[in-house]
Amino acid sequence: MWLEGNVLYYVDPPHPCLESVEVMMRRSRELTRGLRRWFMVIDLGQVERRVSPRTLAAIIKHAATLEAELIAVHSVQAPRLLAAAVRMVVRALSGRAALCADEAEARRAVQLLSGGARGTD
């Protein structure tokens, strides 16, 4: 996970679990502390298996508490079952999340919403 300007980038691990969700949430709060507006790009390209219903519920619960204006999720190689789970998360975040085809589309979505801003305002 890293921060570029006001965009937080996260690459999901090959085997997401409750612990990885907790670590991601804690780290995202640390990195975005002090930012009024920030956006998040999540790469699911390394995820190798279906996410358990319990982990999926935790992801939805925790992602809903993130203060990101937009969470852009992308994965070119995600298994179909994972893609279905991701669609559920995107729907649950109603309007604050976007499912993108690839990283370039995710970056464009963030730039469009942020007005191209890259600073910490």
Q: How confident is the model at residue 121 (pLDDT cuts 50, 70, 90)?
A: very low
Q: Answer with the residue of higher pLDDT: 49 or 117.
A: 49
The answer to whether position 104 is within a domain reads yes
Are 106 and 100 contacting, i.e. CB atoms less than 8 angstroms apart? yes
Q: Domain span at residue 51?
A: 2-114
Return the closest-CA partner of residue 106 out of 13, 14, 39, 25: 39
The answer to whether position 11 is within a domain reads yes
Domain count, the chain: 1
CATH no. for residue 14? 3.30.750.24
The answer to whether position 119 is within a domain reads no
The answer to whether position 33 is within a domain reads yes
The answer to whether position 9 is within a domain reads yes
The answer to whether position 121 is within a domain reads no
The answer to whether position 39 is within a domain reads yes
| pTM for this prediction | 0.79
At 14-30, the pLDDT tens digits run 888 888 888 989 999 99
The answer to whether position 40 is within a domain reads yes
